[in-house]
Amino acid sequence: MPRPTIATSLSAKLLVLTILFVLLAEVLIYTPSIARFRMGYLEERLATAHIAALSVEAAPDLMVTKELQAKLLAYTGTHVIDLIQPGARVYMLSRPMPPQVDAVYDLRTTGMGMQIVDAGHALRLALEGAFGQPRDRVIRVIDRSPNDPAQRVEVTMDERPLIDAMVEFSRRILAVSVAISVIAALLVYLTLHALLVRPMRRLTAEVVAFRRDPDGAPPLVPGSRSDEIGVAERELAAMQGTVRAALRQRERLATLGTAVAKINHDLRGILSTASLLSERLTESADPEVRRVTPRLVASLDRAVELCGQTLSFTRDGVLPLSPAPVDLHRVAEEAGAEVLATVHPDGGRVEAEWINDIPAGTPAPVDAAQLGRALVNLGRNAVQAGAGRVRIAVETGVGPAGLLILTVADNGPGLAPRARENLFQPFAGSARAGGIGLGLAIAREVLRAHGGELRLVRSDAAGTVFALDIPQGNKETDPVDVAWHKSFVSH
């Protein structure tokens, strides 16, 4: 497995994302900050203008010379200053030809939202001036005097110095933001690299090594961390131990299965020979011998069946299917004939009724041999458990679209609690006395190989019902199923 490059590594992504998030936070902080800076600049101009206007009160006859007036206006950076006192007294400083006002801002009625809008408008003018012809506006600003709220100050001034100050403030904010972002990103990067990235790389390397060689990879030694990484290390170590044990168990079972498969053929031959020879005992003159001979033959037949089922189960693996359009009624009839030929453990033939309620001509794209095998196993379990009637039917309109449901119901005594607990476990339990627990396991494998499922619907004193879910596909949209259906109808 190739290692991630620097550009695609988790560390690089953490570094880039941290820088972006810090910059985003700085942008969110910058918006009200630039608005507040603009307000502070204007309030400073108003305070300075108030002080300059007070010089009129100190002048003889409330008149200042033109030279002093020009110096005061130049010092305050304004064209016109009006100071309105509570008694409606006005002190005024003005240039001989004041310029025309382009916009008026009354700070007394301006909230934070409008301040942000006005600041954004000023920065937009700055951008237009940077990429085109600059617009030098003249603005009139009105507010209560910062020095005495009882007095109102109105100034007419150029907006360009304000915009230049805002741009310089933005540059400083940008420089500070970038520095903070880089420092924060490096700190977060180093922290996360030590706490997360390096342990994740270690875990990843352990997983890759274990996948390549489960037996040869050294066992993971969990650390002492109590967080999620520590939990992951301990769970991975436990999983490795469980998987190694399962692999060793599988190897032993595979070896055992191979040995069973090798001796099974000879064992079946020996048992078949013994069965043929034991049938001659029925000609014995001893009545007791003739009485126990059927049981001996039945026991040998069950031993041969056991060998056959065991060999089949160990040899099957993934069931090879050959789906084709078949008549489910015919498959059920053939399975019923085989079930009714079943021999009881005492050597007698079964006395049961096989009721096939599947309508003749019911099509289904399945493997007839494998599905018949599943039906035989279910039916044989039922009659050998004491059922006198087995009914097989097809249900439509009860499951999801495209799902065919077969039901196998009997009137037997029901399943024992131990059989229910290990119903589909091979060799772990049987649904009938004397069984080996392979019939239901094989039947479920057949259904799962078809993409369906074998379910126990109910089991009580009135009998047992199994459901066989068989996916059929959508006949309107699935071209394969349409072809199978047409092929079945044509035949």
What pLDDT score does 239 carry?
A: 85
Task: Compute the mean pLDDT over every residue in the chain, rounded to the nearest whole number.
Answer: 78
Would you put residue 361 in left (φ > 0), alpha (ψ -120 to 50) or beta?
A: left
66 or 489, higher pLDDT: 66
pLDDT level of residue 437 (50, 70, 90 thresholds) = low
Q: How much is the pTM?
A: 0.45
Q: Which of 200-204, 462-466, 476-480 has the lowest mean pLDDT?
A: 476-480
Average pLDDT of the residues in 227-254:
81
- Determine how many CB atoms are found less than 10 A away from the CB of residue 276: 11
Neighbours of 356 (CB within 10 A): 18
Spell out the residues 6+ positions from residue 412 whose beta carbon is closer than 8 angstroms to its own. 382, 385, 386, 387, 388, 463, 464
Q: What's the CA gap between 438 and 313, in Å, rounded?
A: 8
Distance of CA 372 to the CA centre of its chain: 39
Higher pLDDT, 334 or 484: 334
Q: What does the pLDDT read at residue 466? A: 94
The confidence band for 410, taking pLDDT boundaries of 50, 70 and 90, is very high
pLDDT average, residue stretch 188-214? 82
Summarised one tens digit per residue, pLDDT across range 349-402 is 667 899 999 999 888 889 888 898 899 889 988 888 888 899 999 986 555 556
R_g of the chain, CA atoms, integer Å = 47
Per-residue pLDDT band at 60 (split at 50, 70, 90)? low
The pLDDT value given to residue 474: 45
The arithmetic mean of pLDDT across residues 11-16, rounded, is 74
Q: How confident is the model at residue 407 (pLDDT cuts 50, 70, 90)?
A: very high
On the question of pLDDT at 268 being above 70, the answer is no
Sheet hosting strand 353-356, strand order edge to edge: 353-356, 389-395, 403-410, 463-471, 453-460
Q: Which of 54-63, 92-101, 151-160, 216-225 has the highest mean pLDDT?
A: 151-160
- What's the pLDDT score for residue 488? 39
Residue 59: other Cβ atoms inside 10 A: 13
Cβ atoms 18, 98 nearer than 8 A: no
**Within 13 A of 205's CA, how many CA atoms are on the CB side?**
9
Going by pLDDT thresholds of 50, 70 and 90, the confidence category of residue 140 is very high
Least confident of 63-67, 152-156, 281-285, 301-305: 301-305
Return the HEC string of the chain: CCCCCCCCCHHHHHHHHHHHHHHHHHHHHHHHHHHHHHHHHHHHHHHHHHHHHHHHHHCHHHCCCHHHHHHHHHHHCEEEEEEECCCCCEEEEECCCCCCCCEEEEHHHCCHHHHHHHHHHHHHHHHHHHHCCCCCCEEEEEEECCCCCCCEEEEEEECHHHHHHHHHHHHHHHHHHHHHHHHHHHHHHHHHHHHHHHHHHHHHHHHHHHHHCCCCCCCCCCCCCCCHHHHHHHHHHHHHHHHHHHHHHHHHHHHHHHHHHHHHHHHHHHHHHHHHHHHHHHHCCCHHHHHHHHHHHHHHHHHHHHHHHHHHHHHHCCCCCCCEEEEHHHHHHHHHHHHHCCECCCCCECCCEEEECCCCCCEEEECHHHHHHHHHHHHHHHHHCCCCEEEEEEECCCCCCCEEEEEEEECCCCCCHHHHHCCCCCCCCCCCCCCCCCHHHHHHHHHHHCCCEEEEEEEECCEEEEEEEEECCCCCCCHHHHHHHHHHHHC
In this predicted model, which residue has the larger pLDDT, 91 or 344?
Answer: 91
**pLDDT score for 491:** 39
User: Residue 143: which pLDDT band, with cuts at 50, 70 and 90?
Assistant: very high
Find where tokens 């409606």 sit. Answer: 88
Distance CA 390, CA 379 (A): 7
Environment class of 216 (CB within 10 Å of its CB; exposed 0-12, middle 13-18, buried 19+): exposed
The pLDDT assigned to 309 comes to: 59
Which candidate, 93, 110, 101, 102, places its Cα nearest to that of 153?
Answer: 93
**In what order do the strands lie in the sheet containing 152-158?**
90-94, 78-84, 152-158, 138-144, 103-106
Q: Are 372 and 335 in contact (CB under 8 A)?
A: yes
Is 433's pLDDT higher than 60? no
Dihedral angle at the C-alpha atoms of 250, 256, 259, 260, nearest 10 degrees?
-110
The string of pLDDT tens digits covering residues 271-326 is 677 766 666 666 677 777 667 676 666 666 666 666 665 666 555 555 567 888 89
What is the four-CA torsion angle of 445, 450, 451, 453, rounded to 10 degrees? -50
For residues 34 and 119, the answer to whether their CB atoms sit within 8 Å is yes
Which of 40-49, 182-191, 429-438 has the lowest average pLDDT?
A: 429-438
Residue 485 has pLDDT above 50, yes or no: no
Cβ neighbours around 184 below 10 Å, total: 15
Predicted local confidence at residue 465, as pLDDT: 93
Section 430-456 average pLDDT = 77
